A = this chain, B = another copy of it.
Amino acid sequence: MPHGHASEALTKNQALVMGALSEATGPLSAYTILDQLRDDGLRAPLQVYRALDKLVEFGLVHRLESLNAFVACRQPGCDSHERTAFMICDDCGSVIEITDKALARRLKSLAQDASFALKKSTIELRGLCAACTPM
């Protein structure tokens, strides 16, 4: 059972999906991945979704809720995948992944104030990346 970012012992389908996401420069939808992997033998959405579920579980891939898409984790020390924040460029689609202690603390504190048992944070910031911002 793989752990952390060492992509050891992935199954064939998991490795295929992981490969597609790793080579991509931005997020991919499940169906885009499927199209890219048809020549490798994948034929049905479920094959992709099953692999994605595992990859997310292993911490190798993030799901971007506001995009209905998936992106390979690029952050070497990204341990706490439950509190990662993303900046998504609405123009070029690039994704910046960040984990910020202060942000996590504040969210935890807000949850406590509301007696809310926090399990997972979805934080997705939309806007324009540095390259796409007009001067």
Query: Which A residues are within 8 Å of any B CB, using their own CB?
Result: 65-66, 85, 87, 89-90, 96, 98, 100, 102-103, 106-107, 110-111, 114-130, 133
Q: Are B100 and A127 in contact, with the CB atoms below 8 A?
A: no
Q: Are A125 and B116 in contact, with the CB atoms below 8 A?
A: yes
Q: Are A117 and B106 in contact, with the CB atoms below 8 A?
A: no
A127 contacts which of B102, B118, B125 (Cβ < 8 Å)? B118
Q: Assuming the A-B contacts A103-B106, A106-B103, are A117 and B122 also in contact, with contact meaning beta carbons closer than 8 angstroms in the complex?
A: no
- Give the CA-CA distance A87 to B123 in the complex, in Å: 12
Task: Kindly provide the distance from the CB of A87 to the nearest chain B CB, expressed in whole angstroms.
Answer: 5
Complex contacts, A120 vs chain B, CB 8 Å = 125-127
